[in-house]
Structure 1
Amino acid sequence: MMPLLAGAVFFDRDGVLNEDVGYLHKAEDFRWIEGARDALKLVQDHGLLSIVVTNQSGVGRGYYTLDDVAALHRWMTSDLSKDGISITAFYACPYHEEATVPEYRIADHPDRKPNPGMIQRAIADWKIDRGKSVMIGDKQSDMVAAQSAGVTGALFGGGNLMDFLARHLPR
């Protein structure tokens, strides 16, 4: 018997879960998007996984480190846990063709959206059913990554994320 596959909501981070302040890497600069906490709770209440897939070219540009990104993601996890909300996993891509940190200077890296690498890795890692999943992003590159990974994409144009997600939640 095949194991049951989980459904998931993939979230871009900056501009979807939090206000995009440009190269965010410190908790003190973090502001949740309106309705983001409720949206994450909705995902959890529906038995879906919540997966964050975020390009982080600031790492490649030398503005901050992957450890800084991980620390911010730990802070987000801790902040959400106060309300019994969790994020299943975070995937961050530091690669960029114009990176100043040589190890991250890779053009068209498979993980960097619009490429689907982060979504594909999450699908494999968490045994996710593409047909029961959606990618919420605020850029066309998020939609291209979703389509390339075989996941429905929903372009978030701002406003209340909970209201938006309620209309796009996988069934």
Structure 2
Amino acid sequence: MGSSKTPQIRAVLFDRDGTLVVDVPYNGEPALVRPMPDAKAVLDSVRRKGLSTGVVSNQSGLGRGLLVQAQVDQVNARVEQLLGPFDVWEICPHMDGDGCGCRKPAPGMVYSACRKLGLETSEVALIGDIGADVEAAEAAGAVGVLVPTPLTRPEEVSRARLVAPDLAGAVRLLLELA
């Protein structure tokens, strides 16, 4: 029984590196894409429930000149090939100091994904592996769930309102909120 003040989650956005796929810093090589454990099964279950899916990913390698757009596009195509189609992709090419509104923890990519999906931010969740993912979700008015990895800083875990041990646990948490 859902509460009237908690809108149902209608879409789940995912961080790419460290959440959906193993983080290879500044990866421009599709052959290096490796899904995180259970990522495919979790995404399939989200899609079976009729929820939209999307990816929101900081890709500062573009701004740093370490990657070109074609490389990012090829890596993203490989992610889709391995994990199924996503309804929306949002990529921020900027570096930390650029002051853009899209680079997580800023909420710009979440807002843009919601517009493209035709959803209110309160109907959307974002699952990621670092504090910036959760902060971007919350700044937009969406639900953020942290799935820590060994690289996640302890203070990010302690600050996160919702923490799950893995992707499947994160989705279970979200469905309980619905």
Scaled by the length of structure 1, the TM-score of the pair is 0.83
- Identity across aligned pairs (percent)? 32
Counting matched residue pairs gives 155
Alignment partner of 2:143 out of 146, 152, 157: 152
CA contact (8 A) 2:40 2:82 kept: no
Residues 125-162 of structure 1 deviation map (CA, whole Å, 9 limit, x = unaligned): 11023333211011111111101111010011146422
CA RMSD in angstroms comes to: 1.9
Which residue does 1:96 correspond to in 2?
Answer: 95
List gaps (5 residues or longer) in structure 2.
Answer: 1-7, 150-164
Alignment partner of 1:46 out of 30, 49, 66: 49
Which aligned segments of 4 or more residues in structure 1 are displaced greater than 3 angstroms?
Answer: none
57-66 or 89-98: bigger deviation = 89-98
The one-letter code matched in structure 2 to 1:141 is A
Matched, 1:168 2:174: yes
List gaps (5 residues or longer) in structure 1.
Answer: 99-106
Structure 2 counterparts to residues 100-119 of structure 1, below 5 A:
107-119=98-110
112-121 or 153-162: bigger deviation = 153-162
Flag the structure with higher strand content: 1
Residues 61-119 of structure 1 deviation map (CA, whole Å, 9 limit, x = unaligned): 11111121111111222233xxxx32112111111146xxxxxxxx2201111101111
**Would the alpha carbon gap of residues 167 and 6 (structure 1) be closer, same or farther in structure 2, given more than 3 Å must change?**
closer
Q: CA deviation at 1:6?
A: 8.0
Flag the structure with higher helix content: 2
CA contact (8 A) 1:7 1:129 kept: no
Structure 2 counterparts to residues 19-34 of structure 1, below 5 A:
19-34=22-37
Q: CA deviation at 1:168?
A: 2.5
The one-letter code matched in structure 2 to 1:145 is A
Matched, 1:12 2:15: yes
CA contact (8 A) 2:111 2:121 kept: no
Which residue does 2:80 correspond to in 1?
Answer: 77
Matched, 1:127 2:126: no
